[in-house]
Amino acid sequence: MEIKVTWKNKLSFTGTGVYGFSVPLDAEPFEGGNNEGFEPMELIAIGLAGCTAMDTISILQKKQQDVTAFDVRDQAE
């Protein structure tokens, strides 16, 4: 897998994935950023929750369960 993170200004970056999807990255102003994007640790937590959600829904679909709504919530520090 090859990704790219491109610096814009201050602590603002654009992250680009394998298939060309982009995500804004930044930090809070007190850390030197503009608060114009996700903080990298947020994306790690979102990635973990996303893997959990996809695995769970995949299993439920294989078991032919009728899922009408599903959320994964995470608390990270």
Domains recognised in the chain with CATH numbers: 4-62 (3.30.300.20)
Report pLDDT for 76. 86
Contact 51, 29 (CB under 8 A): no
Report pLDDT for 77. 83
pLDDT per position as a tens digit, 15-63: 999 999 999 999 999 999 999 999 999 999 999 999 999 999 999 999 9
Q: 5: which strand partners?
A: 15
Nearest 10 degrees: Cα torsion 58, 47, 68, 19: -70
The pTM (predicted TM-score) of the whole model is 0.83
